[in-house]
Amino acid sequence: HAPCQEASKLIKSYLMCHLNEWEEERSTDGSKWRFLEHNGPVFAPSYEPLPDKVKFFYDGKHMKLSPPAEEVATFFAKMLDHEYSTKDIFRKNFFKDWRKEMTSEEKSKITDLNKCNFSQMNDYFKAQSEARKQMTKEEKRKIKEENERLLQEYGFCIMDNHKERIGNFRIEPPGLFRGRGDHPKMGMLKRRIRPEDIIINCSKDSKQPKPPPGKKWKEVRHDNKVTWLASWTENIQGSIKYIMLNPSSRIKGEKDWQKYETARRLKKCVDRLRTQYRDDWKSKEMRIRQRAVALYFIDKLALRAGNEKEEGETADTVGCCSLRVEHIQLYPKMDEQEFVVEFDFLGKDSIRYYNKIPVEKRVFKNLQLFLENKQPEDDLFDRLNTSILNKHLQELMDGLTAKVFRTYNASITLQQQLKELTTSDDSIPAKILSYNRANRAVAILCNHQRAPPKTFEKSMQNLQTKIDEKQIQLSTARKQLKAAKADHKASHDDKSKKTVEVKRKAVQRIEEQLMKLQVQATDREENKQIALGTSKLNYLDPRISVAWCKKYAIPIEKIYNKTQREKFAWAIDMAEKDYVF
């Protein structure tokens, strides 16, 4: 055993060395690579007009649409069965953008979306997707080969001396924007991205990617300070999209690792920061008090800093710094608790944040002060904005952002919960249930809610049917065991003894299967409205999970699926069973 430990230590120090080396490789002049070569993105296939037999009707009359108008109509037709297509904002946005693609003749005729009949188009796409399900093996093989060819040609790049997988080398096809929650832009046309929209980034001395025949790139850059290979601006939010390396790549893995190392550094100094912001609640300066209360929210509630990227201007979403008076209510006393603050606002991705928490008296008094003489639409923290807060965080600790608090709290909470919930003698399924419960505690903390999946009730029913069947099987098996025992008691021969053994094993096996199903049902029920993926992927130090798996001999596949294992390859390689965040 000792040599094993020795070897694993060696491997770890090797990896740590290399991680540091990669860091040094780039920190000397700030560049991220010396050589970068790739073949550019893969564009969405061009539009194929519908066969003539598929008709569109306006006001009961057949109308042949021009190809650009028809293409946009198909996006809507494909979504006819979806709830989106009944939402007013969605319909309004779609119709406005659709009209922009129409010829002037079409525009003058088609003036009311309610008079449009897309049902034949919808039937046609349904039939097509049915046909895809019925494809022969040969057809499936051809598609798989084509995908493999594209992957080989476009899915890899050379960065310095490494061949790296590219994450998303296919450009999303055009369609209608959905957005999360009740996004005000839902239904708008997400335009087709063309080579003229693409900025390529690669090294000067590489073989440069060729645009499709007859086309040009918007620009070719040679910027080794960034790690994206291509970028474009999408038309809905005006945000910049990038083609990046796959999460399993060296550079991404290292970035991920650094993120958790930063969170671990916060763990070491968080007490000092807390003492300081507590002192600042008493400051004579309003701006310092506001900053200190905001920091307390970020620390205690894992709120985002706010004003993040493109959001905010269109969807009315806020973060800590951009909270308005109308987003909070103060209750000096509520249900046995003193100094309760009630939060109700739309956070990132228009997800509602609702929480009632008791705060310290001084925070409460400060909040009362901040609210004085203000209207509901005024800023709660009028002396604070995201850049001021971020600058302050930088001063407190190198690399500190609001996100680091989330990462720190999420990771430490997972570690504590795992310790609390796991029992060594539990079966593997029971341990995995504990893991998922710990993960859920974190997701709740980070407000990662979701609407229950559409298929939820159905899949729950299926599972229940399986459980019922298993229960019947079990009682049958038990009866058989009882009969076999009676038989053996009467005859005392070897044959009946063997039968008893066989029946006993059968009962055991069925009991285990039943337990597994029951655990699965509990897990699924508890998971109904919580999205575990986001915290797992972004906020939980994977070394905690890996160490837990090692400690309890749980196969890592039970915790991470293939994509996640790729992303966390660095952690899976180096974590030890006694890792402490």
Ligand X SMILES: *[C@@H]1O[C@H](CO)[C@@H](O)[C@H](O)[C@H]1NC(C)=O
CB of 497 to ligand X, least distance (A): 47
466: amino acid identity, one letter: K
Side-chain-facing half-sphere of 422: CA atoms under 13 Å:
22
Residue in 539, 552, 560, 579 annotated catalytic: 539
Residue 387 contacts ligand X per CB under 6 A: yes
Of residues 432 through 471, those in contact with ligand X by CB under 6 A are 445
**Nearest by Cα to 414 from 444, 433, 442, 434:** 442
Stretch that binds ligand X, among 83-91, 218-226, 467-475, 548-556 (CB under 6 A): 218-226
3-state secondary structure of 245: strand
Residue 409 contacts ligand X per CB under 6 A: yes
| Helix, strand, coil percentages for the chain (3-state, nearest 5) | 55, 10, 35
Of residues 270 through 329, those in contact with ligand X by CB under 6 A are 300-301
- Beta strand pairing status for 240-243 and 230-233? antiparallel
Among 160, 223, 326, 487, binds ligand X (CB under 6 A): 223
CA 297, CA 345: separation in Å to the nearest integer? 14
451: amino acid identity, one letter: A
Residue 388 contacts ligand X per CB under 6 A: yes
Residue 549 contacts ligand X per CB under 6 A: no
**Nearest by Cα to 568 from 256, 335, 280:** 256
E-only strand ranges, 296-365? 328-334, 337-346, 352-358
DSSP 340: E
CB of 374 to ligand X, least distance (A): 18
Question: For ligand X, which is the closer residue by CB, 430 or 537?
Answer: 537
CA 14, CA 399: separation in Å to the nearest integer? 26
Q: Supply angle C-alpha 281, 283, 288, rounded to 5.
A: 80
Residue 233 contacts ligand X per CB under 6 A: no
- Beta strand pairing status for 61-63 and 56-58? antiparallel
Among 564, 568, 572, 579, binds ligand X (CB under 6 A): 564
CA 344, CA 353: separation in Å to the nearest integer? 6
Residue 385 contacts ligand X per CB under 6 A: yes
CA 394, CA 247: separation in Å to the nearest integer? 27
E-only strand ranges, 424-577? none
Among 103, 140, 561, 577, binds ligand X (CB under 6 A): 561
Among 103, 275, 465, 563, binds ligand X (CB under 6 A): 563
CA 581, CA 579: separation in Å to the nearest integer? 7
Side-chain-facing half-sphere of 419: CA atoms under 13 Å:
12
Among 44, 151, 226, 506, binds ligand X (CB under 6 A): 226
Stretch that binds ligand X, among 2-10, 64-72, 548-556, 561-569 (CB under 6 A): 561-569
Among 119, 368, 461, 464, binds ligand X (CB under 6 A): 119
- Judge whether 249 and 168 are in contact, CB under 8 Å: no
Residue partners of 458: CB distance under 8 A and separation at least 6:
none
CB of 46 to ligand X, least distance (A): 27
CB of 472 to ligand X, least distance (A): 33
Which residue minimizes CB distance to ligand X?
A: 533
552 catalytic per annotation: no
Residue 74 contacts ligand X per CB under 6 A: no
Site residue total, ligand X (CB under 6 A): 23
Question: For ligand X, which is the closer residue by CB, 121 or 433?
Answer: 121
**Nearest by Cα to 31 from 201, 167, 253:** 201
Concatenate the DSSP letters of all residues of 365-392 into one string: HHHHHHHTT--TTSBSSTT--HHHHHHH
Question: For ligand X, which is the closer residue by CB, 294 or 507?
Answer: 294
CB of 377 to ligand X, least distance (A): 17
- The neighbouring-strand residues paired with 544 are none
Question: For ligand X, which is the closer residue by CB, 290 or 499?
Answer: 290
CB of 120 to ligand X, least distance (A): 5
CB of 307 to ligand X, least distance (A): 7
492: amino acid identity, one letter: H
* Continuous H helices in 169-231: none
CB of 384 to ligand X, least distance (A): 8
CB of 135 to ligand X, least distance (A): 21
Residue partners of 109: CB distance under 8 A and separation at least 6:
58, 63
CA 15, CA 118: separation in Å to the nearest integer? 58
Question: For ligand X, which is the closer residue by CB, 385 or 473?
Answer: 385
CB-count exposure of residue 70 (10 Å: 0-12, 13-18, 19+): buried
Question: For ligand X, which is the closer residue by CB, 42 or 220?
Answer: 220
Question: For ligand X, which is the closer residue by CB, 50 or 188?
Answer: 50
Question: For ligand X, which is the closer residue by CB, 426 or 456?
Answer: 456
Residue 120 contacts ligand X per CB under 6 A: yes
Stretch that binds ligand X, among 101-109, 113-121, 186-194, 374-382 (CB under 6 A): 113-121
Question: x/- string (CB under 6 A) for ligand X, residues 516-545?
Answer: -----------------x--xx--------
CA 258, CA 543: separation in Å to the nearest integer? 13
Question: For ligand X, which is the closer residue by CB, 429 or 533?
Answer: 533
Among 22, 43, 57, 95, binds ligand X (CB under 6 A): 57
Question: For ligand X, which is the closer residue by CB, 348 or 567?
Answer: 567
**Would you please indicate which residues are annotated as catalytic (active-site) residues?**
539
**Interface with ligand X by CB under 6 A: which residues?**
57, 117, 119-120, 221, 223, 226, 300-301, 385, 387-388, 409, 412-413, 445, 533, 536-537, 561-564
